[in-house]
Amino acid sequence: MTSALRIVNGRIYDPAHGVDGAVRDLCISGGRIVADVPPDARRIDARGMVVMPGGVDIHCHIAGPKVNLARKVQPEDHRHDVHLRTRVTRSGTGGTVPSTFTTGYRYAALGYTAAMEAAVTPLGARHTLEEFHDTPVIDKGFYVLMGNNVLMYRLLQEGRHEEFRQTLAWWMSATKAYAPKLVNPGGDEFWKGQRNSNVTGLDQQIAGFDLTPRKVIAAFIEAGNELGLPHPVHIHCNNLGHTGNYQTTLDTMRIAEGRRAHITHIQFHSYGSVAGKSGDNPTSKAHEISEYVNTHPNISADVGAVMFGRSTSMTADAPLAYMLRRFGGGKWVNADTEHESGCGIVPFTYQDRNYTNALQWAIGLELFLLSDDPWRMVFSTDHPNGGSFMSYPRLIRLLMDSEFRKEQMAKVNQQALEHSGLRDCASREYSLSEIAIITRAGPARLLGLTGKGHLGVGADADVTIYEEDADKEKMFSTPRCVIKDGEPVIEDHEFRAEHEGRVFHVAPDYDPGIEQVIEPFFEDYYTIRFANYPVADRYIPHPQTVPTAPQAAEAGAVPAT
């Protein structure tokens, strides 16, 4: 076990406990935050420094089948951004889709200690967990793609709601996932079976089924809430990227009817149109979207901000990637997974002079600046879709430093700015405490990870120490010290130790009899045997099974605060 530590003289930012920059000691022992440690415990002097919980990324793409395809397809992206091995750490390559080891080290080197892979096919769960094993330092988990699942559609179509819920629970357990993910629900059957077309509205009939996206979304929200999952259904709405799509987004949020739902990379779903013309350039509807989220506490969202420069669009929304291919102009990957998902990958560059790209950038900032509740509108770039996680420090500076933001606004397409409301919220600046909320405390709370995102006694000792700097990009780029599970893995900006993080997953209870419903479908339509489908425990050397609400109640645990 790790030795005891006392961090002294640091300014502590722990918004979950209302601590806003107070100078006090922080004690660590046995991998957790404790009230006190013996006087001979090792001391880390954090004078002039800011102490925060480790960062928690609620939505990124860092491991699994589609990520590996995106890695393989971009050797040019690796060549100019290499990651050297040290005596204790492995080598790798970077770019917008870094190799696994590099991903772990670079997240840690930004002060992040947990990251959630946001879209994994159930069949790709095993692959994802293997990559997690080679992604050091940080804790990880993944969301499993369920929104185009053919068996789930059949059960829903036949009105078998109880079996639908049981099957969802089985699938979450069998894949060791953390949350169910819906991506463009209904789109895959059009894409794979109807000559690459797509679903366009929530009430359109899904090809081959007596179902609509609205029915699918409602059923998953209901089942996710009934199962008491620590993180609710994570929704990538229909019509991503399309002009005028904000109505779909508002309608999707309304489907929840007061139940919990998380809308991801909401920036990509906040587009209006000029005078109702869908073919024209998009406009910003950040105001309408923010207003809805601000006034509906059952809804949470991550922004999915766009940052200029290279990115990789990788998504289970295959028709979207095919559309982007026209703008990317080069490589395109499509990968279909039987009965479960589609996938598209396009290397992409966001340009500040481009109207649409500049508008997307502005909308991302607007959504942050219009948010009344940082606990529910949290930080993301949908790495690497809106931009690499390596751009997080710059995005933090854009939020904290209005002068810097104005300078950047002057450089982008001005017509786009006119169609956004960014100039109207120009004066707001995020405080360090608010940054701590949107980058760690908020995501941890939305995920139901009670040991993360705060520095109270009993919390996991994931702590980042930043040197204060007027330049917030610089400050958040290079933390001086990063402590993971009580172990200082980075000190004086250098890696001191290798560390294997944990994998978070859920295991909701289900009636084993449900397998009688699932197995025949496998016999008929899958190419892998039912018995070989569930992922064995040994794929997670360091698991943390996060209880569902009923499981927590049964165990007498304190529910997430």
Partner 1 sequence: MGDNIRVVPDATCTFCGCVCDDMVLTVDLDQKRITKSENACVLGKAWFKEHAIEERPFALVDGREATTEEGVEVAAQILANARFPVVYGLSDTTCEAQRVAVAIADMVGGCLDTTTSVCHGPTGIAFQGGGESTASLGEIKNRADLVVFWGGNPAEAHPRLFTRYAVTAKGMYTPNGRKDRTIVLVDVRRTPSTPVADIFLQVKPRTDFEVLWALRALVKGRKIDPSIEQRTGISLAVLEDLVDRMKRCRYGALLFGMGLTMNRGRHFNAGAILALATDLNEFTHFVAKPVRGHGNVTGADNVVSWQTGFPFGVNFSRGYPRFNPGEFTTVDLLSRGDADAALIIASDPASNFPKAAIEHLKCIPVINLDPKLTHTGRLARVSFTTATYGINVPGTVYRMDDVPITLRPAFDSPYPSDEQVLTSIRDRVRELLGGNRLPAGDPLAGVAVS
Smallest gap from residue 101 Cβ to partner 1 (A): 7
- Nearer residue to partner 1 within complex by CB, 79 or 474: 79
Rounded Cα–Cα distance for residues 271 and 356 (Å)? 10
Q: Select from 53, 124, 186, 448 the one that contacts partner 1 (CB under 8 A).
A: 124
- Nearer residue to partner 1 within complex by CB, 74 or 477: 74
Asked if 60 and 116 touch (Cβ cutoff 8 Å), the reply is yes
- Cα 423 to chain centroid distance, Å, stands at 28
- Nearer residue to partner 1 within complex by CB, 334 or 548: 334
- Nearer residue to partner 1 within complex by CB, 196 or 415: 196
- Nearer residue to partner 1 within complex by CB, 228 or 387: 387
Asked if 264 and 293 touch (Cβ cutoff 8 Å), the reply is no
Question: Of 157, 123, 118, nearest to 141 (Cα)?
Answer: 118
The CA distances from residue 363 to 266, 307, 428, 530, in Å, are 10, 11, 15, 45
What SS3 state is found at 119? strand
Q: Scan residues 132-161 and list those touching partner 1 (CB under 8 A).
A: 133-134, 150
- Nearer residue to partner 1 within complex by CB, 332 or 404: 332
Rounded Cα–Cα distance for residues 441 and 92 (Å)? 30
- Nearer residue to partner 1 within complex by CB, 4 or 335: 335
Smallest gap from residue 527 Cβ to partner 1 (A): 4
Q: Select from 254, 296, 331, 428 the one that contacts partner 1 (CB under 8 A).
A: 331
384 contact partners, CB below 8 Å, separation of at least 6: 60, 61, 70, 96, 97, 311, 312, 314
Draw the binding track, 345-384, toward partner 1 (x: CB under 8 A; -: no contact).
x---------------------------------------
Long-range (24+ apart) CB contacts under 8 A made by 128-133 are: 128/63, 128/64, 128/65, 129/176, 129/503, 129/535, 129/539, 129/540, 130/539, 131/62, 131/63, 131/64, 131/67, 131/68, 131/100, 132/63, 132/503, 132/540, 133/500, 133/539, 133/541
- Nearer residue to partner 1 within complex by CB, 78 or 499: 78
Q: Select from 4, 24, 32, 130 the one that contacts partner 1 (CB under 8 A).
A: 130
Burial class (CB in 10 A: 0-12, 13-18, 19+), 397: buried
515 forms part of the interface with partner 1 (CB under 8 A): no
DSSP string, 151-167: HHHHHHHTT-HHHHHHH
Smallest gap from residue 518 Cβ to partner 1 (A): 15
Q: Select from 18, 403, 512, 527 the one that contacts partner 1 (CB under 8 A).
A: 527
541 forms part of the interface with partner 1 (CB under 8 A): no
The CA distances from residue 494 to 10, 226, 349, 484, in Å, are 20, 46, 31, 14
Q: Select from 333, 409, 503, 518 the one that contacts partner 1 (CB under 8 A).
A: 333
Smallest gap from residue 319 Cβ to partner 1 (A): 11
Stretch in the footprint of partner 1 (CB under 8 A) among 121-129, 169-177, 178-186, 457-465: 121-129
DSSP string, 517-535: HHHHHHHHH-SS-GGG-SP
- Nearer residue to partner 1 within complex by CB, 5 or 540: 540
Asked if 436 and 15 touch (Cβ cutoff 8 Å), the reply is yes
Q: Select from 23, 457, 536, 557 the one that contacts partner 1 (CB under 8 A).
A: 536
Q: Scan residues 166-195 and list those touching partner 1 (CB under 8 A).
A: 191-193, 195
Stretch in the footprint of partner 1 (CB under 8 A) among 42-50, 52-60, 433-441, 529-537: 529-537
Q: Scan residues 46-105 and list those touching partner 1 (CB under 8 A).
A: 63, 65, 67-68, 71-75, 78-93, 95, 97-101
- Nearer residue to partner 1 within complex by CB, 44 or 316: 316
334 forms part of the interface with partner 1 (CB under 8 A): yes
- Nearer residue to partner 1 within complex by CB, 78 or 502: 78
Q: Token digits for 390?
A: 């390596």
Question: Of 55, 100, 117, 26, nearest to 476 (Cα)?
Answer: 55
Question: Of 128, 147, 146, 133, nearest to 61 (Cα)?
Answer: 128
Smallest gap from residue 321 Cβ to partner 1 (A): 10
Rounded Cα–Cα distance for residues 424 and 229 (Å)? 38
Smallest gap from residue 485 Cβ to partner 1 (A): 22
User: 11-14 and 55-60 as β-strands: parallel, antiparallel, unpaired?
Assistant: unpaired
Q: Token digits for 252?
A: 């999707």
Which residue ranges make up the site for partner 1 (CB under 8 A)?
63, 65, 67-68, 71-75, 78-93, 95, 97-101, 123-124, 126-127, 130-131, 133-134, 150, 191-193, 195-196, 322, 330-339, 345, 524-529, 531-532, 535-536
